[in-house]
C-alpha cells in the first residue's frame, strides 16, 4: 500500500464513495424499481431476492433506500450551501465593518441561535410551503447563524496576525487583502463545520420529511419511508429500520469527513 494511503483516509473514502455511487448511479446497486412493486409480494421479509424486504405496496425496500439517497443527500448539500452562501458575506461584514454593524449582526445571530433549529425550520416551511427544495432552504437558513459566528471569529483572528499587517504595509488594497488573505484563511474552519453540519442537515431533513413536509409519496426519501412504514413496525420492522440505518450511516460519514478535515495539518 502506498505510504500516502492511510487506513484513516480509506475509512473516510469508502463510505463517501458508497454514498456518491448510490446517489448518482443507483442502478449499480439495485435493478429493482423504487416506485412500482408487486402486490403479491407485499410485506415480504428480507431475503436473497429482496435484501431489505418489501413494503406494504410490494416495492423493494433496498431499491427505495438506494434511490432515496439522492433526495436526502442532495437536499442536505443544498442546505449547507445555502448556509454558507448567507453566512460568508454576513461573517465578513461583521468582522470588517464598524463596531455598530458588528454588534447588530452578532445580536441577530444570537437570537437565531436561541431558537431550536427544527422549530425554526418548521416555521419557515409554514411560510414558504412544503417540498424538497423548500425543506433544504428552511434547514439551510436555520443553520446560518452558527456559520456566521464562526466566520466572524475567524475573520477577527486573521486580522490580528502579523502577515495581515505585512500585507497592508506593502500596499495591498482592501479588496486584495480580503480576497487573498482574510477570506481563504477564515473559510478553512468553516469547511470542517460544513461537513459536520451536513450530518445535522441530513437528520433535520429526514425529520421534517417524516412529519410530511417533504416530497410527496411515492418519492423514495428516507424520512418519508419511515413515516410510511410506522404502522407496520410490529409486522414489518424492515420498512422503517433500513431507511433509519441509512440516515445514521450518512450522518456518521459526514462526521468522519469533518474529523478528517480538522485533523489535516
pLDDT of residue 263: 72
Q: Alpha helix (H) ranges present in 129-178?
A: 132-142, 144-159, 162-169, 174-177
The predicted pLDDT at position 183 comes to 74
Name the H helices within the chain.
7-24, 61-96, 99-113, 117-128, 132-142, 144-159, 162-169, 174-177, 183-210, 222-229, 238-263
Give the closest residue to 15 by CA, choosing from 201, 244, 252, 200.
252
pLDDT at 162: 64
Q: What angle do CA 231, 236, 240 make, to 5 degrees?
A: 70
Residue 111 CA to residue 133 CA, distance in Å, equals 25
Regions of the chain short of the pLDDT cut 70: 1-9, 160-181, 264-265
Read off the pLDDT of residues 146-205 as tens digits, 9 standing for 90 and up. Answer: 999 988 888 888 776 665 666 566 665 656 666 666 777 777 778 888 888 999 999 999
**What is the CA 260 to chain-centroid distance, rounded?**
17
CB 216 within 8 A of CB 210: no
State how far the alpha carbon of 214 is from the alpha carbons of 27, 80, 112, 128, 177, in Å. 24, 17, 23, 12, 43
Amino acid at each position: 500500500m502506498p505510504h500516502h494511503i492511510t487506513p484513516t483516509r480509506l475509512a473516510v473514502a469508502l463510505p463517501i464513495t458508497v454514498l456518491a455511487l448510490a446517489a448518482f448511479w443507483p442502478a449499480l446497486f439495485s435493478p429493482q424499481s423504487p416506485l412500482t412493486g408487486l402486490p403479491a409480494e407485499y410485506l415480504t421479509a428480507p431475503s436473497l431476492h429482496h435484501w431489505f424486504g418489501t413494503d406494504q405496496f410490494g416495492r423493494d425496500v433496498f431499491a427505495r433506500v438506494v434511490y432515496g439517497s439522492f433526495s436526502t443527500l442532495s437536499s442536505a448539500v443544498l442546505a449547507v450551501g445555502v448556509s454558507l452562501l448567507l453566512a460568508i458575506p454576513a461573517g465578513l461584514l461583521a468582522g470588517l465593518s464598524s463596531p455598530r454593524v458588528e454588534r447588530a449582526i452578532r445580536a441577530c445571530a444570537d437570537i437565531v441561535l436561541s431558537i431550536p433549529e427544527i422549530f425554526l425550520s418548521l416555521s419557515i416551511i409554514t411560510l414558504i410551503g412544503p417540498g424538497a427544495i423548500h425543506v433544504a432552504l428552511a434547514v439551510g437558513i436555520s443553520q446560518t447563524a452558527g456559520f456566521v459566528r464562526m466566520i466572524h471569529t475567524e475573520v477577527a483572528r486573521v486580522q490580528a496576525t502579523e502577515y495581515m499587517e505585512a500585507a497592508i504595509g506593502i500596499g495591498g488594497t482592501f479588496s486584495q487583502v480580503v480576497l487573498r488573505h482574510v477570506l481563504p484563511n477564515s473559510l478553512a474552519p468553516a469547511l470542517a463545520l460544513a461537513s459536520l453540519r451536513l450530518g445535522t442537515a441530513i437528520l433535520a431533513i429526514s425529520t421534517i420529511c417524516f412529519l410530511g413536509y417533504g416530497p410527496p409519496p411515492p418519492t423514495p426519501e428516507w424520512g418519508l419511508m419511515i413515516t410510511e412504514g410506522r404502522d407496520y413496525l410490529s409486522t414489518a420492522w424492515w420498512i422503517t429500520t433500513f431507511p433509519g440505518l441509512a440516515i445514521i450511516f450518512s450522518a456518521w460519514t459526514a462526521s468522519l469527513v469533518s474529523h478528517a478535515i480538522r485533523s489535516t495539518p
